[in-house]
Amino acid sequence: MGHIVIIGLNHRTAPVEIRERLAFPSEAIGHALRGLLEKESLKEGVILSTCNRVEICALASQGFEGTSEAKEFMAVYHGIPLEELNGYLYHYEGDEAVRHLFRVGSSLDSMVLGEPQILGQVKDAYGYAAEFRTIGPILNKFFAKTFSVAKRVRTETKVASSAVSVSYAAVELARKIFGDLSDKTVLLIGAGEMCELAARHLISAGVKGIMVTNRTFERAVKLAEEFDGIPIRFEEISVHLKRADIVLSSTGAPHFILQRQDVEEVIRIRKNRPMFFIDMAVPRDIDPDANQVDNVYVYDIDDLNNVIETNLEERQSEALKAEEIVKEEVRSFRRWLDAQQATPTIITLRRKYEEVKNAEVAKAVSAFGADDPKMRKVVESLASSLLNKILHAPISSLKKDADGRNQMDLVSVVREIFDLPEGSERTGTGDADETGETPQE
């Protein structure tokens, strides 16, 4: 069958200048995958390459040899001495490799816990391997299981449910204050990057419209065009402020551009309809005392960071539940893999010694000088009974739940003791495995 091995590096083990040198660009991935399977012990292979990690997942005939060949391939392909890479690389085999990919796909190993992009990147890696036919029944099942584990984690935990970026935190707060955003208007003051990003997220969240102002009116016009919004002149903020339910501000001004009395006046005009101010400027644009006005909510960059910290703590708590799911699913996959390791060996073992039995029965019957049906039946019954008793122990051992044992080692020992021929490996098919399952989310 083979050993599942993973070798690679990520944002924790290697700086970006090393990760850049080891990246596999998408246009070269087919060439790389084919080169990977030229290695003698590697039977199936997938390459995952993102800005934060580069990993090779392979099915190897021998674990140690497969790990060594995967490392050598990565070094030679990128023209970097292996001794220079070894300090950055990690490797996993067997259950540890399974656990690692399950955690990667579920975003438990990401720089930002719970971020959604990694699952799509793992799916892309699988897609390339299927396209270039370097994935066979074992890794096909492995990746199918990875996608289903990721779905379980998202469905059964909240590890990815809360905002952990400043821009998303702003949207989350707006939703808490207003609920439905479809009838809300946004005023964007200034052109700070985080402020612009928050505006984009609010538009994606379905706000009704956006007004844009900037000290340079031409910049306001350009941004308004990008947001399909309305540009307003900076000196006319007070005229248009009453129309805004959500105000995003990031001007870089050395003093407040909105004082408490400005906010009190606009709330009076709005007849106390709530307003939400997100002040992303340092120094701040909005007088923090405005937060004391009824129906006014002012959040600065520190408030948003506090929201993020709280959400990260919640994600960490939910990650513990996710880790339990991963642990359970590793055991489930191990049981499936054990069956794939044991079943062909059991079939081969019984087939070989059935042939031996039949040959010996024929000799015994022949020795009596006549092919007596009754004699044949007695001899066959005796031979079958002896064969079943002899094979009972090894077959029962192979069928047992192998938790805590290395099933591959047990299969190898049985094959060696009973002198069984090596079965042919099905690799590089890119098709569904024998269960008919193909990877889906």
Q: Could you give the dihedral angle defined by the CA atoms of residues 116, 117, 118 and 119, in that order, rounded to the nearest 10 degrees?
A: 70
Catalytic residue among 16, 51, 269, 390: 51
Pairing of strands 296-300, 230-233: unpaired
CB neighbours of 63 closer than 8 A, spacing ≥ 6?
A: 3, 5, 93, 94
Distances (CA, A) of 187 to 160, 172, 213, 291, 429: 29, 17, 8, 18, 55
Q: What is the DSSP string of 229-258?
A: -EEEEGGGHHHHGGG-SEEEEE---SS-SB
Question: Which residue, 56, 62, 46, is CA-closest to 2?
Answer: 62
Question: Across the beta sheet with 275-279, what order do the strands follow?
Answer: 230-233, 209-214, 185-190, 246-250, 275-279, 296-300
Question: Which residue, 332, 336, 348, 346, is CA-closest to 392?
Answer: 346
Angstrom distance (rounded) from CA 212 to CA 344:
68
Give yes or no: 195 in active site.
no
Residue 167 contacts residue 140 (beta carbons within 8 Å) = no
Q: Which residues is 214 bridged to in the sheet?
A: 233
Question: Which residue, 322, 301, 336, 335, is CA-closest to 138?
Answer: 336
Question: Which residue, 348, 349, 342, 347, is CA-closest to 409?
Answer: 342
Angstrom distance (rounded) from CA 315 to CA 164:
9
What's the token pair of residue 133?
């036919």
Residue 10 contacts residue 53 (beta carbons within 8 Å) = yes
> In this structure, is the dihedral angle defined by the CA atoms of residues 218, 219, 225 and 227, taken in order, positive or negative?
negative
Which residue is associated with the tokens 């106390």? 272
Rounded to the nearest angstrom, the gap between the alpha carbon of residue 71 and the centroid of all alpha carbons in its chain is: 22
User: What residues are labeled active site?
Assistant: 51
